[in-house]
Amino acid sequence: MSIGLIFSAIGASCLAVSAFTKHKDRMLVWQVADYVFTMIANLLLGGYTGAISISISIIRNLLMIKKWYSWATATLFVFLQLSLGAYFNNLGWVGFFPIISSISYTLATFMTNKIQWLRWVIIENMLLWSFYDWTIKAYPALIMDFFIITTTLIAIKKSKRSKI
Domain ranges of the chain: 2-163
| Helices assigned H by DSSP within the chain | 2-18, 24-45, 48-65, 71-88, 97-111, 115-135, 139-163
What confidence category does residue 48 fall into, taking pLDDT thresholds of 50, 70 and 90? confident
- Highest-confidence segment of 11-15, 60-64, 119-123: 119-123
> Span 54-64, mean pLDDT?
88
Q: What tens digit of pLDDT does each residue of 14-41 get?
A: 877 887 787 888 888 998 998 899 899 8
Total Cβ atoms within 10 A of residue 68: 9
Burial class (CB in 10 A: 0-12, 13-18, 19+), 132: buried
For residue 67, the 8-state DSSP code is: T
Residue 163, pLDDT > 80, answer no
pLDDT score for 164: 56
Contact partners, residue 150, CB within 8 Å, separation at least 6: none
Residue 158, pLDDT > 80, answer yes
At 69 the three-state DSSP class reads coil
d(CA 33, CA 56): 14
> Span 87-112, mean pLDDT?
89
Sign of CA dihedral 55, 82, 70, 108: negative
The single-letter code of the amino acid at 4 is G
Report whether 122 contacts 19 (CB < 8 A): yes
The single-letter code of the amino acid at 52 is I
